[in-house]
Amino acid sequence: MSEFSWATAWAIFCTYVAIDMMYAWYILAVGKRRAFTAALLTSIIYSLLAYGVVSYSKNILYLVPLASGAFAGTYITVRFKR
């Protein structure tokens, strides 16, 4: 297990906030049948997800900022998309 870094934890948190926000936008794009937008978003989402997997596979403690970022991203998107 690698050493824990607060900078990496912050980067993971921000990454997963962005992922969850983009995932909500992806769902909306699919619902509106915007193929290019949905395809672009999903390619970005999977690229960012890979970063998270690589990070927490080195240190399981990175799951905390990952889960917190996912929560925050979904909460922010749903809260302000009313």
What are 36-59's pLDDT values in tens digits?
Answer: 999 999 999 999 999 888 887 888
Which pLDDT belongs to residue 80? 86
The pLDDT-based confidence of 82 (bands split at 50, 70, 90) is low
Domain positions in the chain are 12-80
Which pLDDT belongs to residue 29? 94
> Cα separations (Å) of 3 from 7, 54, 60?
12, 14, 11
**Torsion angle defined by CA atoms of residues 51, 40, 26 and 13, in that order, rounded to the nearest 10 degrees:** 20
Which pLDDT belongs to residue 73? 93
Closest to 16 measured CA to CA, from 64, 58, 61: 64
